[in-house]
Amino acid sequence: MQPPKFAEFVSCLMTAISSCALYGESHPLIREFSSRALTLLPDLCENDALSIVMIGGSLIVNDEPCVEKGVQVTGFMTRMKKKRIDRIVFRAGLDEEELRRFFSTVASRDALSSSPHIAVGTIEVKLGREGLEAGTLLDEGAGRVKEAIAGVSRFRPLDMTGLEDAVVSFLSALRRESKMLRIISPVKTHNEYTYIHATNVSVLTIFQAETLGMKGEELHDIGLAGLLHDIGKMFVATEVLDKPGGLDPAEWNELKQHPLEGAVYLSRLADVPPLASIVAFEHHMKFDGSGYPDTRKIGRTQHLVSQMVAISDVFDALRTERPYRKALDVRVIAGMLREGAQRREFNPVLVDSFLSSLAAIACVM
């Protein structure tokens, strides 16, 4: 195995996939990068196959760990995670037409399936994860969120692989547990609030999106956007975030910067879907255009996913005990969301759909 050739091979794949999304699969650029990738493939094969396996943030190429990943290889791993694929094998005999079909499917929102010389799959079964309880999956995901959030700084990129894995765990947890309120975690200690809240908002928003019929990659990006909605709070002083009483005007102004801070931070990261920046910016806006940041002068309306995250955000915040108030009962929160919908602070259709789906599966209202 020669790492530079592997990096070049993956770079050809990623350039072809990006070009496919922009120009379609028959564009000359895609032909050029397909043929370059096919020229490199024989040198990368062992026993006529190049095997790439992703376990968490680790990459194993032909049974050997690949330590130096680089931007393109990390980007490729992220793409595959979004397709719910963690094992891919390119076999000798692969031709340009089959490779171009692979690029086109990866670039689209369609599910990826194996073809004669490209085998794709998941390693969940090998690891015995199919028997895992929803709670375990959720704890695993929340652990990854905790690690990723703890590493945030203006000068360090986010651990997107960890966050992508967390969303996959949340999606699986929702498949396994029909009682929604058992899935979202209670906050046990004050220090847990940040990552448990991020986890709960992600799970609640995926739940809303699924009940509205959203699927696949779209659902995955929505889960990430839910996870990252408050990332801008990492740049707000802890004394302001944790202040038990009311905030003075200067402190309140600082706190109100977190949507903009989060959106700017996320927009600078290559692997983060643009939806996450939009949601970070808009999650404290209201359906009627009020709230903050105040964008009424420019007539900005809240994105549908930001409207969903705003509902999940308030729902989770109110059911959690905070230093300055007790946790509220779900029925009380439901009443508050309905009143908010009447005042046009939340999208009434989304509130209705969320509460009726929650009531239907959890029998809580």
Q: Which is nearer to Fe ion, 260 or 361 (CB)?
A: 260
Alpha helices in the chain (DSSP H): 3-23, 28-44, 70-82, 96-107, 134-150, 160-176, 180-183, 193-211, 216-227, 238-241, 249-255, 258-267, 274-282, 304-318, 330-342, 348-362
Q: Token pair 């000068």 is at which residue? A: 155
Counting other chains too, the contacts that 137-141 makes at CB distance below 8 Å and 24 or more residues apart are: 137/169, 137/170, 137/172, 137/173, 137/176, 138/169, 138/170, 138/173, 138/183, 138/185, 138/199, 138/203, 139/185, 140/166, 140/169, 141/165, 141/166, 141/167, 141/168, 141/169, 141/170, 141/173, 141/199
Cβ 255 to Fe ion, closest distance in Å? 9
Smallest separation (angstroms) from Fe ion to the CB of 198: 8
Q: Which of residues 300-339 bind Fe ion (CB under 5 A)?
A: 313
CB of 307 to Fe ion, least distance (A): 14
| Total residues in contact with Fe ion, by rule CB under 5 A | 2
3-state secondary structure of 51: strand
CB closer to Fe ion, 86 vs 313: 313
Q: Which is nearer to Fe ion, 102 or 346 (CB)?
A: 346
Active site residue 243: no
Question: Which residues from 203-232 bind Fe ion, rule CB under 5 A?
Answer: 230
Q: How far apart are CA 309 and CA 312, in angstroms?
A: 5
**In the complex, least distance from residue 302 CB atom to Fe ion, rounded to whole angstroms:** 14
- Measured from the CB atom, the residue of 18 and 320 that comes closer to Fe ion is 320
By C-beta, is 31 or 256 nearer to Fe ion?
256
CB of 197 to Fe ion, least distance (A): 6
282 binds Fe ion (CB under 5 A): no
Could you say which of 69, 83, 146, 233 is catalytic?
A: 233
Contacts to Fe ion by CB under 5 A: 230, 313
What residues are labeled active site? 233
